[in-house]
Amino acid sequence: MACTTILVGKNASYDGSTIIARNEDSPAGQFTAKRMKVVLPADQPRHYRSTISHVEIDLPDNPLRYSSVPDACTSKGIWAAAGVNEADVAMTATETLTSNERVLGADPLVELTEAKGKEGEAGYVGEQSGGIGEEDMVTLVLPYIRSAREGVKRLGSLLEAYGTYEMNGIAFSDVDEIWWLETVGGHHWIARRVPDDCYVTMPNQLGIDEFDLADARGKKSEFMCSADLETWMDEHHLDLMTITARAAVEAKGSKTDGARISEASAAATRIFNPRDAFGSHSDADHVYNTPRAWSMHRYLAPHGGWDDPAGALGPESDDLPWCRAPERKLTIEDVKYALSLHYQGTPFDPYGRLGSDSTRGIYRPIGINRNNFLAVLQIRPYAPAGSRALQWMAFGSNIFNALVPLFANVNELPEYLSNTEEGRVSTESLYWASRLIAALADAQFSLNTAHIERYQLAVGSKGHALVAKADREVAKLTRTDAAARLVAANERLAAMLRDETDRLLFNVLFTTSENMRNAYSRSDG
């Protein structure tokens, strides 16, 4: 499923929070309606069966409560997508990735094989289950981890044991760390800790561009991987870095500890580029994927030379950095805007006046018509454990929606965000109200832009104010007493959001109606 991800280390964020954020986009040609849900320990399965792959896994008997964003219709599985557990550990899964033929030949994906023939008859071959995938990962991992590192280890062990039928990237965060895991073939994986002073951009490509195998097999301070990754790479000749290139990486200083080492030492440490080894650089990537990373970098680090005609960091570059220090500390609003980008200020903006018919719309935007939801998971170090986690949520196309903060560690969530029904369009549901607003506003984009901007400002400012009020209310309460207060705070946030969304829908509907093709100015009164 197409998505876009941003990760922000604690020293790169405005308030010292770790922030992980991802759009989930519906497949082309369909809606995949989403809702919010809290999964209580009693409701978590003890035995899990995947709808897509039919893999069956016994689960521990001590799950934690967690928030999630499942499909409104579960006929194709849960697809829990993003959430925070009661230990204040966040997870978003998944960012679909691309790979290459060498990797998939060396370690094929583990796909469901249907039974052949009839049981009891000659030649019958029974069904062989597939591995785990996006449908399953949050349900299998998030209720059982108490740190981001534990998330990497648990998911990694599941991948090694059961395999996967698709390439994915998964983010984990706690109050101190963010880890990013990428699957490699059917059973292998790599993970890297996000530097505290950096942000990461991920646009549906295998993204990690530097990996230290010595650390992964030793201290695991910044890198982790599947147990046999190094020998498997060697067996299948997957490392494409030359000794000279490896030495050059080290000569400019390691991104983990700033060390400078010799060419011989560089070869020994096995620094390599996973994006080259495991990823893809296809023509489709240059239209669908890399331009999104370019547009995010262009916004988050605007003086990086992205628009230099003579530079090598254009929208189709294969060398855009996986992580980078921002030019200033990043806010929730920065993350939201970056994950709503449609190439504003460039010839590629489908709503813009720059460029030409041949350039406008040539690249896949981040803010697209089929954005399903945006979840921004913020773990705040200065807040008490019970109220430290905020799950900022928006539904529908990100160009036209607004983020609302919700306290994640609660037993229930507001109906306005949880009552989505598949196929039943209603303004009683934020998901469908957001879809309606986007479709109407798009038809008269320039005339509706002011309405959208006022809506985003109102929801954002009131959201911050209501969170600050709730923080003051629960500061001196026990975690048990605070929980009920946080439920009430979420209801106030949802009520504010509904009022503002209803107001926006009215304004957009009126503006677009007044500019219908059959409009006529003479009154019939």
Nearest to 415 by CA among 35, 63, 77: 35
| Helices and strands in the chain: count of H runs, count of E runs | 15, 19
Cβ–Cβ under 8 Å, residues 501 and 433: yes
Identity of the amino acid at 48: Y
73 catalytic, yes or no? no
**Total Cβ atoms within 10 A of residue 412:** 12
Cβ–Cβ under 8 Å, residues 395 and 31: no
**Total Cβ atoms within 10 A of residue 284:** 11
Q: Provide the token pair at 206.
A: 């295998």
Q: Can you tell me the distance from the alpha carbon of 206 to that of 220, in angstroms, rounded to the nearest whole number?
A: 21
Nearest to 212 by CA among 200, 199, 195, 197: 195
For 244, phi and psi rounded to 5 degrees? -65, -45
The edge-to-edge listing of strands for the beta sheet with 389-395 is 323-324, 199-202, 3-8, 18-25, 371-379, 389-395, 404-407
Q: Can you tell me the distance from the alpha carbon of 90 to that of 10, in angstroms, rounded to the nearest whole number?
A: 14
Known catalytic residues are 3
